[in-house]
Amino acid sequence: MRGLIALLAAASLLVPVPALAAPEPPRTGFELTGNWTTEAEEQAYLRATGLPVSTIGTTAQGRPVQLVRVGPSSARTVVLFICSQHGDEPAGREACLIRMRSLPRSSSVTYLFVPNANPDGRVLDTRGNSDGIDINRDHLLLRSAEARAMASVIRDWKPDVIHDLHEFGPTAPYYVKDVLWLWPRNLNVADGVHSLSETLSRSYIRPSVEAAGRTSGVYGIYVDPVTGEPIRQVAGDHQERILRNTGGLKHGMGLLVETNVDGTPVYRVDSHLKALDGTQSFVRDRRAAIEAANAASRSVRTGPLYFGGADNQAPDPSDVLTTPPCGYVVTGAQYREVSDELALHGIKSQYLRGGDRIVPLKQEGRALVPLLLDARADGPLLAAQPAAQC
């Protein structure tokens, strides 16, 4: 009898035990209700993901600007997603919140998200922040807390790719694509960074969204609906203050992606998700080339600099600094006025006798220095004195 009992006991160990069901992943307010995720829902969602979240700035109305990290903090390749700089363009924020939970947390890529780049504008449903500043026109002068927060992230993390998510209102009959995209057009962006940024737009974002049945095209150009020929440029120029260009000037592949607000909310969010797929594929396929282009961009110390023109528009000769100065001299008083902004841009200076300082061009921020300190620039921080010798 004892043998039979032992046999039955052993057999019972072979009975399969039902596996515990995997916990349901957190869901955004948009996924749960079909309405845009609220401020409270966003914070609850971020807590539920268990991802590292840090506060990188505080808005004028006291709301946090947050950074979410997915993946290791020390990966060689860093990708930064800036979501909904304009408060009345919510689809990009929703796509970022959804995508962050599905990315691998252990990989050779660090993914960073600023999931809500304009918290006050989101609550107010306005393009600008609570002070009326268009944050995407403030990445040079850094007058807003939001732009300053993003500048600190770019300085500290040195992202290889900066993917900026927006939405646009269609202008019939020309501006009617589902998804528009654009690379840095500023002529001061290093050739390799410019070329790969355009490759990202044309060869990765475009096929990714079009494979999902979306129409797409270059942002900022009216295209004749019959001939398909461009009619005129209406937006997306060379301005260094726009994040797409600033990112390129700071040695990252810059990219703007815009979805059409005439689509349903689900369609708009999904369009952004398809574009995010394209950026992830680009990083996977081109990592070595990306790293090489960014390294080459950081090492540039010679060559002309430009105050105007774009990759699709020749600069006026007066806007070309053929023989740049050695640097720019700022007085002690001027330096105290702009030292925070220079530091946020990662621009270095050297002390001179008498309390003045010189900002040399021979540094990683070379392309930005004249745009910040030369009187010929379009809205510089200040008009400093060019120096022939350092």
Distance CA(285)–CA(357), nearest Å, equals 44
Of the residues 258, 337, 341, 364, only one is catalytic, namely 258
Structure tokens at 30: 């948009």
Distance CA(171)–CA(260), nearest Å, equals 10
Structure tokens at 186: 């500023």
Sequence-distant (6+) residues with CB within 8 A of 284 are none
Distance CA(120)–CA(126), nearest Å, equals 8
Report CA-CA distances (Å) from 1 to 4, 127, 308: 5, 82, 96
173 prior amide bond cis, ω within 30: yes
Are 365 and 346 spatial neighbours (Cβ–Cβ below 8 Å)?
Answer: yes
Length of the chain in residues, anyone?
390
Distance CA(60)–CA(64), nearest Å, equals 10
* 258 included as an active-site residue: yes
Closest CA to 59 of 140, 130, 6: 130
DSSP string, 318-360: GGEESS--SEEEE-HHHHHHHHHHHHHTT---EE-TTS-EEEE
- Active site (catalytic) residues: 258
